Amino acid sequence: MSGHEPIVVVVGAETPGNVGTIARAMKNFGLSNLKLVDPPPLDPDGEAYGFAGHAREDVLPNAEEISFEEVVTTYHTVGCTAITGEDSRRHRRFPYTTPGELAETLQTVDSRTAIVFGREGRGLYNEEIEQLDQICSIPASDDYPVLNLGQAATIVLYELRDLTVDETQLPDREHERAAEADIERFYDYFAEFLDAQRYNDRKREKTQRLMRRLIGRAHPTGREIHTLLGVLRQATEQLEHRQALLDRYDEPDRFGGDTASDGDADRTGDGA
């Protein structure tokens, strides 16, 4: 976002606890600038600070009161609402973006941006929404789309985390695909495995193609592909050993010829 950290604006909050919850969500997702329009009293010993977690140390005590008019004239504004217009004929609440789409659009905004949340009961009034630049809405059940103010803010700020958080507590998930030579060797081993189990020739080509598509989508790591190679190699060796034993015992002269036929011939001769 061109170096501009979004600010969070809460308009007409009725419950101090929700302000504290929003401050905590801001702390979780790397935002620090909280502005309040007509806020309730925020007692340092009250529920706002009790709900704020570590945000009681900086985000909440540094929150500033501001007028709605100042928000509109100072910032690129994004209003958050559960109720949107039904179609393009109603431009007060339409068009709208989801929080995920909002994160993408703000990547290109070279401006100070305010994410604006409304009241617990009624949200932002229509006359307020008319003055905002963008509308954001969280997809939810059509039967009950209205979220608690603190919940809604947490979801939106979570989706914006790529704009505000350089590093998280999670380990790096960069995925290193196995060397193509090792993956091709896996396909060769798979072909040998099919040979060892005497796989149906009519299905063989389709099955090998299916395996190639599956591994191609999975992007296995080097460790994963070497583990699979080991499993296939061991399974193939066991199948080959088993088949060798079966072939050995199927040989006609395994016990010196067809003994049953020889016995029958001798008995027939004795009888003659």
The tens digit of pLDDT for each residue in 213-269 reads 999 988 888 999 999 999 999 999 999 888 888 878 876 655 555 544 444 444 444
Tell me the three state secondary structure of residue 237.
helix
CB 105 within 8 A of CB 144: no
The CATH T-level fold of domain 7-164 is Alpha/beta knot (3.40.1280)
Which backbone phi and psi does 37 adopt, to 5 degrees? -105, 120
CB 215 within 8 A of CB 262: no
pTM here? Answer: 0.67
- Closest by CA to 134, choosing from 89, 91, 90, 83, is 91
34-37 and 134-136 strand pairing: unpaired
Q: Read off the pLDDT band of 27 (50, 70, 90).
A: very high
DSSP H or E stretch at residue 8: strand 7-11
Please name the residues in contact with 138: beta carbons below 8 A apart, sequence gap of 6 or more: 80, 82, 98, 99, 145, 147, 152, 155, 156
Report DSSP letters for 35-94, one per residue. Answer: EEESPPP--TTSHHHHHSGGGGGTTTTT-EE--HHHHHHHSEEEEE-S---SSTT--SS-
Structural domain boundaries of the chain?
A: 7-164, 180-249
What are the angstrom distances between the C-alpha of 171 and each of 159, 167, 224?
Answer: 19, 9, 19
- Model confidence pLDDT, tens digit, residues 115-156: 999 999 889 998 999 999 888 998 888 888 788 999 999 999
Give the chain's mean pLDDT: 85
pLDDT at 271: 45
Torsion of CA 257, 261, 265, 270, to 10 degrees: 100
- Residue 266 CB neighbour total at 10 angstroms: 10
